[in-house]
Chain A
Amino acid sequence: MTMNGDTLADRRILIVEDNFHIAAAMARLLKRHGATVIGPAGTTTDALALIAGNERIDGAVLDINLHGKMVYPVANVLLAKSVPMVFMTGYDDRSIAPGYTNVPRMQKPVTVEGVMRALFGGSFAAPSPR
């Protein structure tokens, strides 16, 4: 599957990542592919504020561990709003809480293609978050 630069056009994607560099790189990549980046947010507080402040969020890329705090409160809100999301993690699967086993996850560093498949499906996409 090949992706052109406009695949993510008009998609509004939330980035939650505590590492500035990773967040910046992610944002930059997504922008290049036409997405509108919401955030990035480095803390759950900032992330929840961004969710509250944006009516439309098409997808979310969430770092699991934010300076030692789990991102689950943010994930809960997004699940409630049925926003597709993907967990980014440096840990293996076991470190993810049992309630979120249906959320697709990706190991850092992530690729744009991986994120797109995880969030919006495709021939190689992970199962729908629902």
Chain B
Amino acid sequence: MSAPHATVPDRVEHLPRLETGNLRAFIDQAPVSMAMFDREMRYMAASQRWIERLCGGRRDVIGRSHYEVNPEVPQHWREFHQRALAGEKLGEERERLQRQDGSAMWVRWQACPWHDAGGEIGGITVVGEDVTAEVEREQALRQGTSALARLHDVGWRLRLAGSLREGLDEMLLATIELLGGVMGHVHMLDADGKTLRLATQYGFAPDVPALLHAISAADDTPDGRALRMRMPVAIADTESDDTYTAFRSVAREADYRAVVKAPLIGRYGTPLGIISTHFRVPHRPTDDDLQRLELYRRRAADFIERFNADEALRQSNAKLAAETKAMAQFYEAGLRLWEAKSLQEGLDATLAGTIDLLGADMGTVQLFDSGSKLLRLVAHRGFKQEFLDYFREASPEQDTAFGRALRSGKLMVIEDTERDLSAQFRAIRRAADYRSIVAAPLINSGGTLLGMLSVHFRAPHRLGDSELQWLELYRRRAADFIQRVGTQEALREGEERLRLAIETAHLATWDRDARTDAHVWNDEFYRIFGYEVGAIEASHAAWARRVHPDDRAAAEAVVENADREHTDYVNEFRVIRPDGSVRWVRARGRYLYYDGEPLRSIGLVEDITEARQQIETQRVLVAELQHRTRNLMAVVQSIAQQTRDSVDTLAEFEDRFDERLQALSRVQSLLSRADNEPITLGALVVMELDALGADTMGDKISYGGPETPLRKSAVEMLALAIHELLTNALKHGALASPTGRLVVNWRIDETLPDRRLVLEWAEYGVARLPPSTDSERSGYGRTLIEEALPYSLSAQTEFELSADGLRCRISLPLSPNDAAEIA
């Protein structure tokens, strides 16, 4: 290197030890490029680095013009050189130069004049320094800061994101910006980890290629690889990268040539999705890009995880609130069910609760009639009348929700009736305006179908798991309710029936707990045993107090014997009531045993006093009948004897005896009715007139008198007497004579001390008196009147045969003593 000494500044000259050679080394070792020019811009000296960087390594530049050596020196530098030659000191801290290969470089330079010994400007020195690396570092730092600021900004936006999509959009835009892409998309990994689904995109046409909607997360796709490695994958050129073959057509269609796929990995390594950034031209991300991308994708993953967690929390809160509400509803409905006073009320409450639970529009409850095998509508809500009429009865054979649920015995959910049911009842369903049915069979614990609880929705409807679970509870409780109420009602009805029957029969019941000796009596028991109902405590002592002392021991013995023998018992005894009245009762009882020990005794008591009285009355009646029959036999015997005494021939006896027996028979039948109607004297007269055919004799007979009831004991004798008188009149007297007349009168004579009935029998116009023999022969009738009536009835009688007929007068007492005996 030859450098002119003269150009060395004075100061240097005074440094004794700084030789030219040393200076040269000093200059060459400085990390800068230096050159010294004369006024003509000819090289006077140049450092090694200058020659290498600016002169293409030419060694022969000394004495040559700078512009000759380097013709590409830009114009503005030539101007700087001139200004420096004019005495100005110039410099630039950073100047960007274009390298010949097109890449950029940065330099710091300084140009200043040098002066010769005479103080004139001899030329200029130029010092240059390559600061490209420094500038690039600065730039990278700036970019990094900006990316972090952007990330920070995105962080805020993400926090405000109202939806996953909104957040993903923010992240996608920031990532595209970071990497300098033009478009991109985000995919989320399905729960099964096999498929990536498009969540959002930027820069693609609205009709994103179908292939991008769902991408396989298998190992052989770039996405699968990125997820598996948990590292970004760059496809620098879609046309040349073999791993991108499957998507090459997409790339062409959407017009991109490079992709960076950044997998989004959760805190615990869970793959969540992928953010892809696309470039128009082949592109490879820088290390810096990739480092910053780390932060971005971590932030995105955080966001997704946090959002999911928040969402899960929100959902779980909402679910909890819904469950709490459902539970409250269930409880409320349960209370209403508990308070229900009837089956109907309870079913209405159940239906309302179920409709509320499911948010249904209408519903029905049907009960299953096991006899007809039909469902009968018992409760409904929200339906129009015509629907109710149509479905008043539903059969398991029909292709309805009811029919299906009945056949299967399981909950039947018809989400859409138009789609899921046959057309059979479509018109009705449309008219009733529902599209979805939930039919829940109500089945008791024994598996017996009780009915059907159904709700209906106007629109197609799907039930959630929780709703199904709640519905199951409603359905079970409804079945329990029906079972319970049904059983109770049946029980109540049975009890009521039994109670009514026992009351109507005036039966007393008792029930004794053998272990505690507690007695329970019904009202009738108190009454029969002469206690005011409930006035005393039921007990064995209270029972024994009322049992007739004469019957007590026997009654106790019967009970003890039954206990010993384990047999039912019947006990009849008398009860004496406080008022002194005595009642006969019959008790029927039974001991119930457990393990050989008497548990309780139970039974009925019946007042049989009237029944016993009736039996007694009957016994008396039978005795009375016997008495009368025997008396009658004696009477017949007597009549036979007396008739025999008054006749000559057997034929005559037969006639007379027969007549008298008939008269006796007539009066007996009259007497047998005497309990209902009193027998009067008039009745006796008419009876005999009728019997003997005298009633047709018109004006030959006249009779009359006051209505006079007769005592029973008098009837027979009087009837026989009238019979004898009338027979005589017909055979020998007034009624046998053409001119004869019969007058029968009776009256009550109250003039005497005792009242008397006076009967006058008078016959007139009898042409011829019967022969005396006749009158002797007919002596029975006369004996009857003259002897028997006075004897039997204390009667006074007169019997007189005058010139033209018979006069007979019978007067019998109607003393007050006889009044009781009046028939």
Chain A interface residues toward B at CB < 8 A: 18-25, 28, 40, 42-43, 67-68, 89-92, 95, 107-109
User: With contacts A19-B792, A92-B623, A95-B623 known, is A108 near B717, CB below 8 A?
Assistant: no
Best-surrounded residue of B635, B642, B821 (most CB of chain A within 10 A): B635
Query: Closest CB of chain A to B671's CB: distance in Å?
Result: 14
B634 touches A28 (CB 8 A): no
Give chain A residues whose Cβ lies under 8 Å from the Cβ of B642.
24
**Could you say which of B623, B628, B634 contacts A22, with CB atoms under 8 Å apart?**
B634
Q: How far is the CA of A109 from the CA of B638 in the complex (A)?
A: 11
B821 touches A21 (CB 8 A): no
Query: Closest CB of chain A to B339's CB: distance in Å?
Result: 69
Any chain A CB within 8 A of the CB of B316? no
Q: How many residues of B contact A (CB 8 A)?
A: 25
Complex interface residues of chain B between 584 and 641 (CB less than 8 A to chain A): 623, 626-631, 633-635, 637-639, 641
A107 touches B630 (CB 8 A): yes
Query: Closest CB of chain A to B674's CB: distance in Å?
Result: 16
Q: How far is the CA of A109 from the CA of B635 in the complex (A)?
A: 9
A42 touches B631 (CB 8 A): no
User: With contacts A28-B641, A42-B791 known, is A22 near B627, CB below 8 A?
Assistant: no
Q: How far is the CA of A20 from the CA of B328 in the complex (A)?
A: 102
Q: How far is the CA of A19 from the CA of B634 in the complex (A)?
A: 9
Give chain B residues whose Cβ lies under 8 Å from the Cβ of A92.
623, 626
**Could you say which of B623, B627, B634, B821 contacts A25, with CB atoms under 8 Å apart?**
B634
Give chain A residues whose Cβ lies under 8 Å from the Cβ of B792.
18-20, 42
Give chain A residues whose Cβ lies under 8 Å from the Cβ of B449.
none
Q: How far is the CA of A24 from the CA of B623 in the complex (A)?
A: 24
B627 touches A91 (CB 8 A): yes
**Could you say which of A21, A43, A89, A107 contacts B638, with CB atoms under 8 Å apart?**
A21
Q: How far is the CA of A68 from the CA of B623 in the complex (A)?
A: 15
Complex interface residues of chain B between 629 and 683 (CB less than 8 A to chain A): 629-631, 633-635, 637-639, 641-642
Give chain B residues whose Cβ lies under 8 Å from the Cβ of A89.
627
User: With contacts A20-B717, A20-B787, A20-B788 known, is A109 near B641, CB below 8 A?
Assistant: no
Q: How far is the CA of A25 from the CA of B637 in the complex (A)?
A: 7
Query: Closest CB of chain B to A25's CB: distance in Å?
Result: 4
Chain B residue nearest to A19 in the complex (CB): B631
Q: How far is the CA of A19 from the CA of B720 in the complex (A)?
A: 13
Any chain A CB within 8 A of the CB of B398? no
Any chain A CB within 8 A of the CB of B713? yes
Query: Closest CB of chain B to A72's CB: distance in Å?
Result: 18
Q: How far is the CA of A44 from the CA of B32 in the complex (A)?
A: 186
Can you spell out 30 A-B residue pairs with CB atoms less than 8 angstroms apart? A18-B792, A19-B635, A20-B717, A20-B787, A20-B789, A21-B634, A21-B635, A21-B637, A21-B639, A22-B631, A22-B634, A22-B635, A22-B638, A24-B638, A24-B641, A24-B642, A25-B634, A25-B638, A68-B821, A89-B627, A90-B630, A91-B623, A91-B626, A91-B627, A92-B623, A92-B626, A107-B630, A108-B630, A108-B631, A108-B634
Query: Closest CB of chain A to B384's CB: distance in Å?
Result: 84
Query: Closest CB of chain B to A39's CB: distance in Å?
Result: 10
Extra contacts besides A25-B637, A91-B626, A109-B637 (9): CB < 8 Å: A20-B788, A20-B791, A24-B788, A25-B638, A25-B641, A42-B791, A43-B794, A90-B631, A109-B634
